[in-house]
Amino acid sequence: KIYYDADADLGLLSDKTIVFLGFGNQGAAQAQNLRESGIPNENILIANRVDAYAEDAKSKGFRVEHDFGKAGEVADVLFLLIPDQAQPRVFNEQVAPRLKPTAAVVIASGYNVFFKLLNFQATQDVIMVAPRMIGSSVRSLYVKGKGFPCFVSAEQDGTGQALPIALSLSRAIGATRAGAIASSAKEETMMDLFAEQALWPNIIVLFREAFSVLKEAGCSDEALCYEMWMSKEPAEIFERAAEDGFVDQLKHHSTVSQFGQLSGALALDGAATREQFKQILYNQVLNGKFCSEFSQIEEDLEKEGDANPLNVLYKRSESMELAQAEKRVRARLAGLV
């Protein structure tokens, strides 16, 4: 089901205090959109630690509260828009104990709700309003009078009003202009983690191996980098796929290319990939294995140098032949060597 503006009643938000916990990519965009949809500034409160994001909120005329517990006490609606890995610690320890029993908590990603990492009271509403866009686009499309794709769901209906409130909030941030798609925290998390842990790693591997095979066959670094991604051809292909269709975009390519791509894809046996995808989906994503392993390293992600596991992964990835070659090409292009 797809919900539009006509399905949503903004009146449900009148007299509600709406707190945004976090004023980053999503928080800043959604709070500004909501205010411009007619929610009075005095009904909006930004809860943010003392940092540049808090200053940004103040400079945009918002009221800012640094004490998360105090913000939780006044919230009828609480948008949880700090990074996913920080949400369980911050919400469970500082906000949840003081949150009203009838508050609605709004998540923009299903992860922490699907894996049950957040503590809610049964009387509270838990709503997902998850834009499928980066924050700057959530804002710029709204300013242009357009909407953006968004998933919406009522994950817990403590007040009996969870879905109408979810739709009303979706309208206030501008999502129902384009149509907000009925989904769930499970569906959103499953698709997100699958794309991140199965689909895109395979795409990275395909590029890595293609680069090495062609390099070994005598192609130059420059030619390969441009042929494969620096020309932005892959970006254009996906752009056309979104506009014209996944298969129909092929018609923009030469006949030789169309014939090669279609016959090549049909000849490839996807059985091994399908099996690998199922393994990742069921034995890594849905069974919570990734989630529990990630929870164990979550605090290390704020550390410096090799103590941060993400830095180690970057270092290892930079040693790929493709990455090394690209570094040389970019240095030559910049006239550095």
Contacts with ligand NAI, residue ranges (CB under 6 A): 22-27, 48-49, 51, 53, 81-84, 86, 90, 108-109, 130-131, 134-135
Identify which of residues 49 and 332 has a Cβ nearer to ligand NAI in the complex. Answer: 49
The Cα–Cα gap between 15 and 291 comes to 38
Residues 6+ apart with CB under 8 A from 301: 85, 308, 309, 310
- Phi/psi of residue 151, nearest 5 degrees: -100, 140
* CB of residue 246 to ligand NAI, shortest distance in Å: 23
Identify which of residues 48 and 156 has a Cβ nearer to ligand NAI in the complex. Answer: 48
* CB of residue 182 to ligand NAI, shortest distance in Å: 17
The Cα–Cα gap between 79 and 153 comes to 14
* CB of residue 110 to ligand NAI, shortest distance in Å: 9
Identify which of residues 51 and 67 has a Cβ nearer to ligand NAI in the complex. Answer: 51
Q: Where are the alpha helices (DSSP H) in 43-184?
A: 52-59, 68-74, 87-90, 111-114, 135-143, 162-172
- State the burial class of residue 60 (Cβ atoms within 10 Å of its Cβ: 0-12, 13-18, 19+): middle
Which residue's CB comes closest to ligand NAI?
A: 24
Identify which of residues 146 and 274 has a Cβ nearer to ligand NAI in the complex. Answer: 146
* CB of residue 277 to ligand NAI, shortest distance in Å: 23
* CB of residue 132 to ligand NAI, shortest distance in Å: 7
Identify which of residues 140 and 276 has a Cβ nearer to ligand NAI in the complex. Answer: 140
Compute the CA torsion angle 251, 229, 137, 182 (nearest 10 deg). 60
Integer Rg of the chain from CA: 23
